[in-house]
Amino acid sequence: MTRRSENLTSHHQVHEDLEARDLLADIPGIQLLTTVIHERKIYRECMAGGYGVVEMKNAKAKQEIEGLVKEILE
């Protein structure tokens, strides 16, 4: 799983993501997921309000979290 700002698609961010994945891949017992979780305001709002993302009306965030759960359970 990668935490990435949806609006930040610069070469530097992509390089940092790839570098982090490479470092984590070398650690025994770590399984990398393919799901990308973007940095979204809705996640902070959910935490502050005690809500789950799937309770909110943000289709992109809901899709990301549902994709993560699906990947974990597979």
Express each pLDDT in 12-62 by its tens digit: 777 888 888 889 989 999 888 989 888 899 999 999 999 999 999 999 999
What is the model's pLDDT at position 38?
Answer: 87
Burial bucket for residue 73 (CB in 10 Å: 0-12, 13-18, 19+): exposed
Question: Domains of the chain: which residue ranges?
Answer: 2-73
On the CB side of 29, CA atoms within 13 Å amount to: 0
- The whole-angstrom distance between residue 66's C-alpha and the CA centroid of its chain comes to 11
pTM over 0.85: no
What is the model's pLDDT at position 9?
Answer: 59
